[in-house]
């Protein structure tokens, strides 16, 4: 018993230091209390070093090289912070670069990640099914985010619990609906909290926790891999942690590239300070890739000169389109490009005869459906928006600006949430188009919401199959599984039920609002889009709670919620006789 407690003590103390950091940042401290907190930080670093070193002497498992190098560099980093804190080795000039307290915070967060990840995380399917794990993880992060945003130093003038909960839900569910202005209402600390919530919500806390646990422990149980395979849509158990690793690397790489490019599109007349430019770039890159739609600008990208900054808009457009495609599609496209490079381009460049390699379905059926549907929606949506708004919201732009703004405005309703035009001034016909695009949303296993492109495509193709009198849905010489068709229509029905209930509830609580504004708000919330016709801040607390429920339901999906709360039917080895039901 004592031995097990000692093993967990470093992780528990690192959690305590993390809470101390949040308390330090969230409240103004007296000098005495600040010294006490610094003592806690110092103890946390010492415990981190001792725990890491002792693990190599007590553990019988062989450590991999990447983990050894990680621990060595971490210990060196911790020692630098300790030397600075105790004023040791003052002659070492390079230590002066690590005097800022943020380095200490970073080191302690690293200790927390290392110690918690070293614990064995076991997902027992006897206690929770994958859907329950998924739903519960989002609920916990939203609750933590609400508490953090309620801290005094997170906002300029304080925030109500409902507004904090709304903002936290909107960030975690990567929606972008706001009840207070993000740029002026929250401090840097508050904005960083929102940014972390967006990142966790976009990828999923289970992705981070599971991969770091695997990285530091070097393995995982069969039970864990079964649960994670359901969450990551992996076809093979052996690919689960490889998929998690790819998701994290792709996400951070694309966000880093996006932030770098955004930085150089900003003009000095828009943002003066280099630090402000850097934070703006990182914030909007993460928000764009995660399809969150949060912006530090009061009127998103429609504000001031930003609506004419076509370079900035192009980068953000690419980021949220890639994020909305979904990780399986991105990985499949990467494999296809690799195949073309190795088996077609290189032989042509080297003048060699191309090998006759049969590689069937490099791009699988799922990718083909998603890419074709996304392309059609983007093309038709852009063309219709261009035609409807040419003399209205597009009038102030150049011809190139009209085309880019049309593409941007057709892509952003599919859960991105950024806007470069005033949505309250759009034509009624354009708003109806936005309704449809918001409802369809992004693609499966992506950072976006909605019923998903594949769901819409399968439902549409089913109409065509029925009209032709076919008993099966066939596409690209493949038959679509019956369970996929059933799941698609279940998602469509459940989405309409959820949105309908939301519209009814808000119309009851705020009966002074127009129905089209309420409907737009509910479609935007359920599809985690973040666009609004301008009534979000004016809604009563009960209506805000309805939107919170819609955002949460839309992010985890209504079907996942039903699976989470419904007992799974055992497989039965019999079938009743079939009987047709009159439909038409």
- Is 257 in contact with 337 (CB distance < 8 Å)? no
DSSP letter for 405, please: H
Compute and round to an integer the Cα radius of gyration of the chain: 26
Q: How many Å apart are CA 209 and CA 117, to the nearest integer? A: 7
Tell me the CB-side half-sphere exposure of residue 157, using CA atoms within 13 A.
5
Residues β-bridged to residue 186: 155
- DSSP-derived 3-state class of residue 478: strand
Query: How many CB atoms lie under 10 A from the CB of residue 499?
Result: 21
Q: How many Å apart are CA 18 and CA 23, to the nearest integer? A: 9
- Is 258 in contact with 416 (CB distance < 8 Å)? no
Token pair recorded at residue 188: 């840097």
What would the 3-class secondary structure string for 50-64 be?
HHHHHHHHHCCCCCC
DSSP letter for 352, please: P
What are the E-state strand segments in 401-458? Answer: none
Query: How many CB atoms lie under 10 A from the CB of residue 560?
Result: 18
Angle, CA of 189, 193 and 194, to the nearest 5°: 120
- Is 145 in contact with 172 (CB distance < 8 Å)? yes
- Give the pLDDT score at 271: 78
Q: How many Å apart are CA 554 and CA 529, to the nearest integer? A: 10
One-character DSSP codes across 225-266: HHHHHHHHT-SSGGGHHHHHHHHHHHHHHHHHHHHHHHHTT-
Q: Taking Cα atoms as reference points, which of 73, 41, 68, 40 lies closest to residue 55? A: 68
Residues β-bridged to residue 155: 186
- Is 416 in contact with 288 (CB distance < 8 Å)? yes
Domain coordinates in residue numbering, the chain: 2-118, 130-298, 344-565
- Give the pLDDT score at 402: 94
Report how far apart, in Å, the C-alpha atoms of 354 and of each of 339, 343, 344, 357, 363 are: 12, 7, 7, 9, 20
Token pair recorded at residue 567: 């007992």
Token pair recorded at residue 420: 């470069």
Tell me the CB-side half-sphere exposure of residue 519, using CA atoms within 13 A.
11
- Is 488 in contact with 458 (CB distance < 8 Å)? yes
Q: How many Å apart are CA 308 and CA 302, to the nearest integer? A: 8
Residues 6+ apart with CB under 8 A from 347: 353, 354, 355
pTM above 0.85, yes or no: yes
- Is 145 in contact with 171 (CB distance < 8 Å)? yes
Torsion angle in degrees (nearest 10) through CA of 39, 150, 144, 99: -30
Per-residue pLDDT of the chain (584 residues; tens, 9 = 90+): 556 666 778 888 888 999 999 998 998 888 899 889 989 999 999 988 888 888 777 766 656 677 778 888 888 888 888 888 887 776 677 777 778 888 889 889 888 888 877 765 555 555 566 667 778 888 889 999 999 999 999 999 889 999 999 999 999 998 989 999 998 899 999 999 999 999 988 887 656 555 555 555 555 554 555 555 555 555 554 566 667 777 888 888 999 999 999 999 988 777 778 888 999 999 999 999 998 889 998 888 888 778 899 999 999 999 999 988 888 888 888 888 887 777 777 666 666 665 555 555 677 888 888 899 999 999 999 999 999 999 998 999 999 999 999 999 999 998 888 989 988 889 999 999 999 999 998 888 777 888 889 899 998 888 888 888 787 888 877 888 888 888 888 889 999 999 999 999 999 999 999 999 999 999 999 999 989 988 999 999 999 999 999 999 988 887 777 776 776 666 667 777 777 777 76
Residues β-bridged to residue 479: 474
Provide the sign of the torsion angle of the four alpha carbons 353, 358, 363, 369, taken in this order. positive
Distance in Å from the first CA to the final CA of the chain: 67
Q: How many Å apart are CA 397 and CA 479, to the nearest integer? A: 46
Q: How many Å apart are CA 321 and CA 318, to the nearest integer? A: 5
Helices 101-118 and 31-58, interaxial angle, to 10°?
Answer: 40
- Is 448 in contact with 324 (CB distance < 8 Å)? yes
What would the 3-class secondary structure string for 375-405 be?
HHHHHHHHHHHHHHHCCCCCCCCCHHHHHHH
- Give the pLDDT score at 222: 44
- Is 327 in contact with 247 (CB distance < 8 Å)? yes
Report how far apart, in Å, the C-alpha atoms of 214 and of each of 68, 223, 247, 301, 331 are: 15, 13, 14, 40, 21
- Is 244 in contact with 204 (CB distance < 8 Å)? no
- Is 339 in contact with 359 (CB distance < 8 Å)? yes
- Give the pLDDT score at 314: 94
Provide the sign of the torsion angle of the four alpha carbons 408, 413, 414, 416, taken in this order. positive
Q: How many Å apart are CA 188 and CA 434, to the nearest integer? A: 33
């Amino acid at each position: 018993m004592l031995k097990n407690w000692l093993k967990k003590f470093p992780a528990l103390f690192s959690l305590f230091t993390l809470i101390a950091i949040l308390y330090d940042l969230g409240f103004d401290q007296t000098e005495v209390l600040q010294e006490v907190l610094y003592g806690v930080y110092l103890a946390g670093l010492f415990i981190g070093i001792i725990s890491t070193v002792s693990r190599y002497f007590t553990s019988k498992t062989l450590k991999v090289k990447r983990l050894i190098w990680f621990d060595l560099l971490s210990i060196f980093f911790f020692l630098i912070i300790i030397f600075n804190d105790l004023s040791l080795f003052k002659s070492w000039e390079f230590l002066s670069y690590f005097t800022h307290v943020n380095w200490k915070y970073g080191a302690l967060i690293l200790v927390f990640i290392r110690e918690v990840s070293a614990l064995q995380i076991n997902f027992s399917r006897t206690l929770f099914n994958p859907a329950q794990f998924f739903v519960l993880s989002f609920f916990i992060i939203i609750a933590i985010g609400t508490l953090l945003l309620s801290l005094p130093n997170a906002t300029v003038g304080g925030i109500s619990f409902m507004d904090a909960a709304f903002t936290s839900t909107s960030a975690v569910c990567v929606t972008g609906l706001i009840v207070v202005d993000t740029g002026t209402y929250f401090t840097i600390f508050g904005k960083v909290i929102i940014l972390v919530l967006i990142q966790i919500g976009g990828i999923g806390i289970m992705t981070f926790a599971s991969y770091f646990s695997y990285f530091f422990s070097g393995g995982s149980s069969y039970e864990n891999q079964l649960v994670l395979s359901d969450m990551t849509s992996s076809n093979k158990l052996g690919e689960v942690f490889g998929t998690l690793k790819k998701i994290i690397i792709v996400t951070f790489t694309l966000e880093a590239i996006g932030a770098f490019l955004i930085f150089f599109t900003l003009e000095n007349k828009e943002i003066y300070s280099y630090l402000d430019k850097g934070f703006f770039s990182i914030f909007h890159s993460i928000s764009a890739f995660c399809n969150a739609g949060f912006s530090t600008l009061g009127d998103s990208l429609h504000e001031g000169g930003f609506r004419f900054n076509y370079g900035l808009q192009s980068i953000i457009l690419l980021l949220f389109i890639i994020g909305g495609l979904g990780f399986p599609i991105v990985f499949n496209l990467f494999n296809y490009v690799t195949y073309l490079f190795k088996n077609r381009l290189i032989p042509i460049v080297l003048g060699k005869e191309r090998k006759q390699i049969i590689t069937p379905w490099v791009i699988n059926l799922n990718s083909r459906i998603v890419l074709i549907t996304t392309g059609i929606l983007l093309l038709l949506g852009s063309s219709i928006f261009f035609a409807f708004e040419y003399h209205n919201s597009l009038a102030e732009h150049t011809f190139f600006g009209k085309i880019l703004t049309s593409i941007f405005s057709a892509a952003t309703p599919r859960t991105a949430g950024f806007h470069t035009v005033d949505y309250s001034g759009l034509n009624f016909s354009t708003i109806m188009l936005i309704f449809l695009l918001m409802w369809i949303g992004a693609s499966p296993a992506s950072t976006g919401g909605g019923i998903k492109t594949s769901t819409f495509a399968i439902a549409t193709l089913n109409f065509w199959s029925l009209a032709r009198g076919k008993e099966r849905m066939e596409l690209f010489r493949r038959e679509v599984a019956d369970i996929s068709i059933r799941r698609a229509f279940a998602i469509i029905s459940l989405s309409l039920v959820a949105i309908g209930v939301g519209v009814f509830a808000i119309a009851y609580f705020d009966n002074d609002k127009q129905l089209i504004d309420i409907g737009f708000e509910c479609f935007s919330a359920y599809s985690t889009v973040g666009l609004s016709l301008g009534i979000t801040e004016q809604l009563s607390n009960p209506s805000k709670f309805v939107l919170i429920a819609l955002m949460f339901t839309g992010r985890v999906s209504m079907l996942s919620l039903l699976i989470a709360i419904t007992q799974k039917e055992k497989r039965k080895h019999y079938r009743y006789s079939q009987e047709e039901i009159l439909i038409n």
